[in-house]
Chain A
Amino acid sequence: MQNNLFQDQKFRGILYQTLVVGFFALGLYFVINTTAYNLEKRNIATGFGFLNNPAGFDISFSPFLDFKSTDTHLKVYFVGVLNTLLVSFCGCIAATILGFIVGIIRLSSNWLLSRIAYIYVEFTRNTPLLLQIILWYAILIQLPRIKQAPQIWETFYISNRGLFGPKPIFLDGSNIVILSLVLSFIISFFIARWAKKRQDTTGQQFPTFTTNLSIIVFFPFVVFFIMGSPITLQYPVLKGFNFKGGAVIRPEFIAMFLALSIYTAAFISETVRSGILSVTKGQREASGALGLKKNWIMRLIIIPQALRVIVPPLTSQYLNLTKNSSLGIAVGYADLVHGFGGISLNQTGQAIECMAITMATYLLISLTISFFMNIYNKSIQFKEK
C-alpha cells in the first residue's frame, strides 16, 4: 500500500515540499535561537532604537544634507543612500554615453580607431574594478597640493584634495528663474509631442530640435536678466592651506565616478556593438535605397532596432554599476556600505539590523531600476500594427 503511495507523483511532490519547508523552518528556528543566545551573551542590543542615537562621527562628503557628528544614525543612512544614488546616477549617464561612443567606434571602418577601442575594452573588462578604483584614487592624490594647484581661468583648481570650482549662490528671485527653466522643458516636451503627431498624420516635418533648444536656452536667460541676475557665482579663493568658498568635488567621488563609468562603459560598448550588428545588412541597404542620409540611417533605422537588443543587457549593466558603487568603501567614499553598513555597524555593534537595512535598500534600488527599465523596454519593443 505504502509502495503505491510513493509511486504517485503528486504525493511525492507534496512530500518533498513538506520536507523542504520543514527543514527550512527547523533551520530558521535553530539560527534564531542561537543568534538570540549569542547576542545576549555579547551584550548586543537588538531593535532599531539605535537609529535615533547620535552617530558621533563626521562624514566628509555630503553634498545634499548638512551632516554634523551629533546627527543620528538614521541621517547617516540617508546621507549614504544619497551618495550611493549620486555616484550611480552620474556613473550610469557617463557610462552610457561613453559606451555608445566606444561601441560605435568599435564598428568604425577605420582599422586603427577600432583597434584602440578594442584594446580599451579588453583592458578594462579584464582587470578587477576594485583595482581600477584604487588606481584612479592613487593617481588623483598624486596631483599637486592645494598651494601649487594648477588653475583654469582662475575658476577651477585641480589639486590632490579635489576639484575646486565656483559655487552658484541663489539670491531672491532665483526660484522664478529655475521655475522658468522647468517650464521651458515642459513646453518643449509638448512641442515635441505635437510635432510628432503632426508628422504622423500629415507628413509635415517640424524643426523640433532647434526650436526646443532655443526655448530651453533663451527663455530662462531672458527671465534671468529681467529678474536682475539673481544667481551669482562664488569663486574659490586660496586662504592659508585651503580654499575658502566655492564648491569642491572630492577625489573619492571623482575616483569612483571615473572607475565606475569607464569600467561599465566597456561592457556597455559590447552590448551596443552586438545590438548594432544584430540589425541585418538589408535594413541598411534598403534605407540607403530610399535615399536616406548616412546619419539618418543610423538614427532612424539602425538605432531604434538595435535598442531592442541593447536595452535588456543595458539594464543589468546599470544594476551592476549601482551594486559596484558599494566598493566606495575602499577609497573612503561615504556611500551606504561605508557610512551606515561600515562605521555605524562598528560603533553600535548591531550587525544584523545594519546589514539587513543595507541589503534591503540595495534590493529596493535594484527593483526600482529594473521596474523603470522594463517600462522603457516595453515602449521600444516591436509593435505590430
Chain B
Amino acid sequence: MENNSNFESRKPPVATTGILGWCRQHLFSNWVNSIVTLLVIYFLYQLIPWFLDWSVFSADFWTNYKGELIVDRTFCSRVADPEGDHGACWAIIIVRFYQFMYGFYPSEQVWRVNLTYFLLVVALLPLLIEKIPGRKHLIKFTIVFPIVAFILLYGGFGFQVIPTNKWGGLLVTLVLGVFGIAIAFPLGILLALGRRSQLPVISMFCTLFIEFIRGVPLITLLFFGMVMLPLFLPEGLNLDGLVRVLVAVTLFQAAYMAEVIRGGLQAIPRGQYEAAQSVGLSYWQMNRKIILPQAIRISIPSIVNTSIGLFKDTTLVIIIGLLDLLGIGRGALADATWMGLSNEVYVFVALVFFIFTFSMSRYSLYLEKKLKTGINMGAD
C-alpha cells in the first residue's frame, strides 16, 4: 500500500479520437512512420501544384496567352513562347474533339451515333440495376440492341451506308468493346460447358481452343485476322476490316470468358446437378434453369474484370491500322499542324479510358460486396 504513493498517477492517454487522434494513429504512430509521412507530404507538395499548374492554371484551352484563338500548334503558348512558363495546350483536343469521338463519321449523320450511345445506356440499365421497373421488357431490348446498333451505325433500311473506314475514335473503341463482350459472352458459356462436357471429343476441342488462344498474344490473333483470314476465305468474300478485327477480339475474349465461367460452374455443388437431373430436366434445361443462373451470378465480378481487360486491349487495333481513340490521337500527332503535343493527347486518352474502366471496376467491387452478403452459395 505504501509503495503506491511513490508512483505518480498515470497521465490520461493522448486523444485517440477526433482528427488529432486519427492522425496520430494513421500517420505518426512511430518515428519511422512520421518521417515517411513528412516525406510523402513534401513529395505531394512538389507534385500536385506542378501538375495542376501544367494541366489547368497555366494551360491553354481555346486561346493562348496572348488571347488569340488556337488553330494549330504554332499558336500554343508553349510553342509560341518557349521561354515562358506555360502548361499544356488542350486546344488539340478541343479542335479535334469531333474526331476523337466519332472519327470521320459524316457530321450530318452523327445523330445516329449519338442515338446509339443513348440506346446503349438504355440497354445496359436492366443489366446494371436489378430493381429497375419493367426489367423484363428492357432485357428484351438489350438482346436486340446489337442488331439495332448495327443498323443505326452502318446503315441500310433507309439509312445512308457509312463504311467502317469512316468510323474512328471512341466510336471504334466502344464498338469493339461492346460487341466483343456481347458476342464473346454466349460463346464463352458454350466453351465453358463444352470443356466440362462428358463427351471426350467435345471437351478436347474446347480445351485445345481455349488453351491455344490463352497461350498466344492478342496481337498475333489480330495479325491472323488481318493477313491470314483473307487467305482462308473463298474469292469474292471480302470481310470488312473492322469485322475481321472483331472476329479476332471476340475469339480472344471468349476464351478468357470461358475460363471465368468455368470457375463459376466449378463452384456449383454437385447436389444442384443431381437434384436437377432427378426432377427429369434434360442437359440444356438443367444448365439453363438451374446451373448457369447460379454460376454466372457468382462469376459476374470476374466477367466484369475480363471485360475491363478487353476494353483496354482494344487499343491494340492501332497496330494493324484501325483508328480507335488512341489511333486518332497518334494521327493528330503525326499531323504537322499539331506535332509535338504528345503529352496532352496521351493524358487525354488515358483519362477517357480511366473513366470507363474505373467505373467498371467500381461496379464489379460493388457486385462482389453484394454477392458476399446477398446469397449463401451451397454453404448449407
Interface residues of chain A, those whose CB is within 8 Å of chain B, are 13, 16-17, 20-21, 24, 31, 34-35, 37-39, 41, 109-113, 116, 122-123, 125-131, 134-135, 138-139, 323-324, 326-327, 329-330, 337, 341, 345, 351-352, 355, 358-359, 362-363, 366-367
Give chain B nearest CB distance to A136 CB in angstroms.
10
Q: Mark B214-258, 1 if CB is under 8 A from A, else 0.
A: 111111100110011011111100000000000000000000000
Contacts of A129 in B (CB 8 A): 312
Pair A341/B40 contact, Cβ less than 8 Å: no
Chain B contact patch, size range: 35 or more
Give chain A nearest CB distance to B43 CB in angstroms.
8
Q: Which of B27, B228, B235, B342 makes the CB contact (< 8 A) with A355? A: B228
Pair B354/A363 contact, Cβ less than 8 Å: no
Identify which of B11-19, B29-37, B60-68, B129-137 touches chain A: B29-37
Contacts of A113 in B (CB 8 A): 36-37, 40
Contacts of A123 in B (CB 8 A): 354
Identify which of B71-79, B85-93, B198-206 touches chain A: B198-206
Q: Do A127 and B357 contact each other (CB < 8 Å), given the known contacts A355-B220, A359-B216? A: yes
Identify which of B51-59, B119-127, B181-189, B315-323 touches chain A: B315-323
Give the contacts of B1-42 with A (CB-CB under 8 A).
26-27, 29, 33, 36-37, 40-41
Q: Is B361 an interface residue (CB 8 A)?
A: yes
Pair A128/B326 contact, Cβ less than 8 Å: yes
Q: Which of B29, B234, B318 makes the CB contact (< 8 A) with A130? A: B318
Bound form: Cα–Cα A135–B329 in Å = 12
Contacts of B37 in A (CB 8 A): 110, 112-113
Contacts of B152 in A (CB 8 A): none
Identify which of B96-104, B141-149, B286-294, B343-351 touches chain A: B343-351
Pair A35/B227 contact, Cβ less than 8 Å: no
Contacts of A337 in B (CB 8 A): 217, 219-220, 223
Bound form: Cα–Cα A362–B200 in Å = 27
Pair B346/A363 contact, Cβ less than 8 Å: no
Q: Which residue of B lies closest to A134 (CB)?
A: B346
Q: A128-B326, A135-B346 are in contact. List 17 more A-B contacts (CB 8 A).
A: A13-B198, A20-B201, A34-B232, A38-B230, A112-B36, A126-B361, A128-B313, A134-B330, A134-B346, A138-B343, A138-B346, A323-B217, A352-B228, A352-B231, A359-B216, A362-B217, A367-B215
Pair A355/B223 contact, Cβ less than 8 Å: yes
Pair B315/A329 contact, Cβ less than 8 Å: no
Q: Which of B27, B214, B231 makes the CB contact (< 8 A) with A39? A: B231
Q: Which residue of A lies closest to B350 (CB)?
A: A127
Give chain B nearest CB distance to A215 CB in angstroms.
32
Q: Do A111 and B27 contact each other (CB < 8 Å), given the known contacts A126-B354, A329-B319? A: yes
Give chain A nearest CB distance to B173 CB in angstroms.
10
Pair A38/B235 contact, Cβ less than 8 Å: yes
Pair A131/B231 contact, Cβ less than 8 Å: no
Q: Is B179 an interface residue (CB 8 A)?
A: no
Q: Which 6 residue pairs spanning A and B have beta carbons closest together?
A: A111-B26, A323-B217, A326-B217, A17-B201, A126-B357, A128-B312
User: Can you report 10 A-B residue pairs in the complex whose CB atoms are below 8 A from each other?
Assistant: A17-B201, A20-B201, A31-B232, A112-B40, A134-B346, A135-B350, A326-B217, A358-B220, A362-B216, A367-B215
Pair A130/B315 contact, Cβ less than 8 Å: yes
Pair B326/A126 contact, Cβ less than 8 Å: no
Pair A362/B202 contact, Cβ less than 8 Å: no
Q: Is B295 an interface residue (CB 8 A)?
A: no
Pair B201/A355 contact, Cβ less than 8 Å: no
Q: Count the A-B residue pairs with Cβ separation under 8 angstroms: how many?
A: 144
Contacts of A351 in B (CB 8 A): 223, 227-228, 231
Contacts of A110 in B (CB 8 A): 26-27, 29, 33, 36-37, 40
Contacts of A341 in B (CB 8 A): 220, 223
Contacts of B357 in A (CB 8 A): 125-127
Bound form: Cα–Cα A21–B199 in Å = 12
Q: Is B212 an interface residue (CB 8 A)?
A: yes
Pair A130/B316 contact, Cβ less than 8 Å: yes
Bound form: Cα–Cα A330–B223 in Å = 14
Contacts of A126 in B (CB 8 A): 308, 312, 353-354, 357-358, 361
Bound form: Cα–Cα A22–B326 in Å = 43
Pair A21/B27 contact, Cβ less than 8 Å: no
Pair B233/A330 contact, Cβ less than 8 Å: no
Q: Which residue of A lies closest to B203 (CB)?
A: A17
Pair B316/A363 contact, Cβ less than 8 Å: no
Bound form: Cα–Cα A218–B212 in Å = 48
Bound form: Cα–Cα A323–B215 in Å = 8
Q: Do A112 and B41 contact each other (CB < 8 Å), given the known contacts A13-B198, A138-B342, A355-B220? A: yes
Bound form: Cα–Cα A31–B350 in Å = 41
Contacts of A128 in B (CB 8 A): 312-315, 326, 353
Give chain A nearest CB distance to B234 CB in angstroms.
5
Q: Which of B26, B216, B235, B330 makes the CB contact (< 8 A) with A363? A: B216
Pair B215/A362 contact, Cβ less than 8 Å: yes
Give chain B nearest CB distance to A309 CB in angstroms.
16
Bound form: Cα–Cα A123–B202 in Å = 41
Contacts of A139 in B (CB 8 A): 343
Give chain B nearest CB distance to A273 CB in angstroms.
14
Bound form: Cα–Cα A41–B230 in Å = 13
Q: Do A330 and B319 contact each other (CB < 8 Å), given the known contacts A21-B201, A127-B357, A131-B353? A: yes
Q: Which residue of A lies closest to B205 (CB)?
A: A20
Q: Do A16 and B199 contact each other (CB < 8 Å), given the known contacts A112-B37, A131-B349? A: yes
Bound form: Cα–Cα A134–B262 in Å = 35
Bound form: Cα–Cα A16–B194 in Å = 12
Q: Which residue of B lies closest to A349 (CB)?
A: B227
Identify the interface centre among B220, B224, B350: most chain A CB within 10 Å of its CB. B220
Contacts of A352 in B (CB 8 A): 228, 231
Contacts of B313 in A (CB 8 A): 128
Q: Mark B101-112, 1 if CB is under 8 A from A, else 0.
A: 000000000000
Contacts of B232 in A (CB 8 A): 31, 34-35, 38
Contacts of A131 in B (CB 8 A): 315, 326, 346, 349-350, 353
Q: Do A109 and B358 contact each other (CB < 8 Å), given the known contacts A128-B312, A337-B220? A: no
Contacts of A363 in B (CB 8 A): 212, 215-216
Contacts of B319 in A (CB 8 A): 130, 327, 329-330
Give chain B nearest CB distance to A132 CB in angstroms.
8
Q: Which residue of B lies closest to A138 (CB)?
A: B342
Q: Do A127 and B312 contact each other (CB < 8 Å), given the known contacts A21-B201, A38-B231? A: yes
Q: Which of A21, A324, A326 makes the CB contact (< 8 A) with B220? A: A326
Contacts of B41 in A (CB 8 A): 112
Contacts of B217 in A (CB 8 A): 323-324, 326-327, 337, 362
Q: Do A326 and B219 contact each other (CB < 8 Å), given the known contacts A135-B350, A138-B346, A351-B227? A: yes
